[in-house]
Structure 1
Amino acid sequence: DCSPQAIQSLRKYNLAPNQIDYIFISHLHGDHSGGLPFFLLNLKNCESGVVTISGPPGLKKQITNVYAEYFGDIDITEYFKFKSLTSEYPFSLQYIEGDHSVLDYVYKIKLDDKIIVYTGDTRPIDLSKFAQNADYLIHEAGEIDSNRAHAFAHTTPIQAAEIAKNANAKNLILIHRANFNQELIDNIHSIFPNTLLPNDLDIIESTK
C-alpha cells in the first residue's frame, strides 16, 4: 500500500521512488492508496524508472483523476506499469478477497523462502489455510472494540492474534492500530506470543 506519508518515509531512508520495483494496493481508500499521486509526482522527477503497480479494479482511474486534480493531466503509463494480479511475477503471488467496506485484497508473497501475508483492511476472515505457516502475517488491528470493528469493517488485535494462532503463523505484525495499553498487549501476547507492534519507519529484519 501507499499512504499519503509514503514519500516522506522514503526520504527519511534516502530512497527515491524509482528504487521501488513493485507496489501492491489492497484497496482504494485514501489511507492505503492516497499517496500514489504524490509518489507519481516524485517519480516523474526522477531521471528514469518505471514502477510496476497492481491492485483492485479502478486503481488506474483513481490515480489519474486525483493526479489531474492536483497537478494536471499526465500519461501515467509512462511511469507506472499496471499489471494484472494473475500475471507472472518473479516471486510467488496469491491473493484472496478480504471483508471490508470496499473490495480489499489480502496478499501472500513468497520471496526467498519466506512467506509474507498482508491483509489490508478487513473484518476477521479465516486465514487458517491461506496464511498457514506464514513467516510474517501483517494484519490490521483498526479497532479495539469488537462491535466497532465489525461496524467499520476492521479487526481487533485480539481477533488478529487468534487468526495468527489458527494459521500457525511464525510472527504476527499488527498495523493500522492505535496505542495499546499494557493489559491489552499482555492479552495479545498470551494468545500469540510472537506478536510485533512496530511504529512507523521501524525495520523488521527477517529471521533465517
Structure 2
Amino acid sequence: MRLQFLGSGDAFGSGGRFNTCFHLERAAEGNVLIDCGASSMVAIRKWGVEPNAVSTVLVSHLHGDHFAGLPFFLLDAQLVSRRTAPLLLAGPPGFEERLMIVMEAMFAGSTKSPRKFELKIRELELHHRAELNGLAVTPYLMKHFSGAPSYALRIETEDKVLTYSGDTEWVDELIPAGRDADLFICEAYFFDKVMKYHVDYTTLMKRLPDIGARRTIVTHMSAELLGRQGEIACEAAHDGLVVEF
C-alpha cells in the first residue's frame, strides 16, 4: 500500500511545510485523505494527486490545520474537477456543524450550492469500528482541546493497519490504537519539552515498545524539533515523502 505525506507540518508552517494531509492509495474503492488541513488543496496540486480519485476523507480533529482544507476541496470538486462520484467525509462528533460554519465563513452560500455529486458526512463514535468504503476506522480519544473530541484513528484496509495519532499529549489510549500496526504515524512536537496537548519526541520513544508498531514515522514537528532532526532515531516525515507498507 502506498501513502504520501502531502503535508507534514504544524499549524504554523514550520519549515515551510504544508498542513497535515496524507494520501492513501488503494487498489479498490477509491483513495483516502487522512486529514485535510487549510493548505491541502495547494499540496494536492503540488504533488499531482487526482482529487476525483479520493472517495473518503477522514478527519482526526477539528482544528484548521487538520480540516480547514475541506471547503476548498469541496468547491474544487464542484467547480474545477467536476466531480460526479460520491464523496464520504468522516470525523468526530460535531464535525458536520463545524464544517458548515467554516464553509459559510470562508465562502458564503457554499453550503447551499447544488452539487453534481453525493456528499455524505459521518460522525465517528468513540471505540466504534465503522465500515466506510472498504475500510474500517476505530477512533480512540486523545487529549487535545479542539472544541470536540480529538481522535487517533486506527484504519484497517487491504489487510493492513495504519494508525494516526492526530494531535495529543501522551495518553495510554495510544497503546491500543497503535498496537501492532503496520504503520504508526504520530505527532512529535518538541524534542523533550513536555507540554499540554502535544507529545514530545522523547516521551514517544520511551513508550513505543508498549505500542509495538512495525514501523513508526513522526510528523507535525515544531521548528525546534525540525532543527534537531539529526538527533531523531526513528523515521521523520517530510512533505512529499512516499511510504510503501
Higher strand residue share: 2
| Cα offsets for 1:32-57 (capped at 9, x unmatched) | 11111111111112322332111112
Q: State which of 44, 48, 71 in structure 1 corresponds to 2:107.
A: 71
> How do 1:120-199 and structure 2 match up within 5 A?
120-126=166-172, 127-147=174-194, 149-150=195-196, 153-178=197-222, 179-181=226-228, 184-185=231-232, 189=233, 195-199=234-238
Contact 1:98 1:125 survives alignment (8 Å): yes
Aligned to 1:11: 45
Change in Cα spacing, 1:143 to 1:80, as seen in structure 2 (3 Å) is farther
SS in 2 for 1:164: helix
The count of corresponding residues between Structure 1 and Structure 2 is 195
Aligned to 2:70: 36
- Distance, in Å, in 2 between the alignment partners of 1:169 and 1:77 is 44
TM-score, L = length of structure 1: 0.84
Displacement of 1:130 after TM fit? 2.9
User: Percent identical across equivalent pairs?
Assistant: 28
What secondary structure does 2:243 align onto?
coil
TM-score, structure 2 normalization: 0.73
Report the residue type matching 2:71 in the other structure. Answer: P
The residue type equivalent to 2:106 in the other structure is Y
**Greater length-normalized contact order (CA 8 Å, ≥ 6 residues apart):** 2
Q: Which has the higher helix share?
A: 1
Contact 1:18–1:50 (CA under 8 A) maintained in structure 2: no
C-alpha separation in 2, matches of 1:76 and 1:65: 15
Q: Report deviation, 1:161.
A: 2.0
What code does the residue aligned with 2:219 have? Answer: I
Is the contact made by 1:118 and 1:137 (CA closer than 8 Å) also made in structure 2? yes
Runs of 4+ in 1 over 4 A off after TM superposition: 76-79
From 191, 199, 202, the counterpart of 2:241: 202
For residue 76 of structure 1, report the CA deviation from its aligned partner. Answer: 7.3
Mark the CA change 1:72 to 1:116 in structure 2 (over 3 Å): closer, same or farther.
same
| Residue ranges of structure 2 left out of the alignment (5+ in a row) | 1-34
